[in-house]
Amino acid sequence: MAETIRELVSEKAVDERIVELGKQISKDYEGKQVHLICVLKGGVFFMCELAKRISVPVSMDFMSVSSYGDDTKSSGVVKIVKDLDEAIEGKDVLIVEDIIDSGRTLYYLIDILKKRNPKSVHLCTLLDKPERRVKDVKVDYVGFNIPDEFVVGYGLDYAQKYRNLPFIGVVEGLE
């Protein structure tokens, strides 16, 4: 069977939810500057759209990490592939992710970032799959809770494809 994409969250619903999240974040960070940290590559579409909807001052930085599953030697530990350009000491950091699935990536990343003495660290994700959680991660802002299905679009890929879809879809017809 050929791969097809079934829409799970429409473009309109994603866009509207991002506006709401931007309003909530602007309220919560009133009087502060929020330092957005994008986890590449998946977080990039969401972070750009979210940043446009935040009305307090925003600065941005980017980080790339590689996660290793249970079947590899490093037992789920995250490795930094591209580090941040700037120090985060004293900053109000908001990590922006496309999805929290097992929680492994963020569990390790939050630990790494907290050691750099930011003023605060919070987490915003477009999608959360709570059923799949292996590592406990506190998520402060969630766009949508989704069921345990493999999703693509809005930054999320399947074998590097489909990141550019403007909606969230489920890949069907996988072997």
Among 18, 22, 25, 67, which residue sits at the site for ligand PRP (rule: CB under 6 A)? Answer: 67
Shortest distance, position 75 Cβ to ligand PRP, whole Å: 13
Site string for Mg ion, 104-143 (x = CB under 5 A): ----------------------------------------
150: contact with ligand HPA by CB under 6 A: yes
Task: Respond yes or no on whether the N-terminal peptide bond of residue 129 is cis (omega within 30° of 0).
Answer: no
Decide: is 101 part of the binding site for ligand HPA (CB under 6 A): yes
CA atoms of 17 and 28, how far apart (whole Å): 16
Stretch near ligand HPA under the rule CB under 6 A, chosen from 1-9, 27-35, 80-88, 147-155 = 147-155
**141, 21 contact by CB (below 8 A):** yes
In which element (H, E) is residue 46 found?
helix 44-52
- Position 156 contacts ligand HPA (CB under 6 A): yes
101 is catalytic: yes
- Cα separations in angstroms, 83 against 68, 92, 98, 138: 17, 18, 18, 22
Terminal CA-to-CA distance of the chain, rounded, Å? 8
The DSSP letter of residue 153 is B
Catalytic residue selected from 101, 128, 136, 148: 101
Q: Which segment (12-20, 29-37, 50-58, 154-162) binds Mg ion by CB under 5 A?
A: 154-162
Contact in structure between 5 and 169 (CB atoms under 8 Å): yes
Q: Under the rule (CB under 6 A), what is the footprint of ligand HPA?
A: 99, 101, 150-152, 156-157
Q: Under the rule (CB under 5 A), what is the footprint of Mg ion?
A: 157
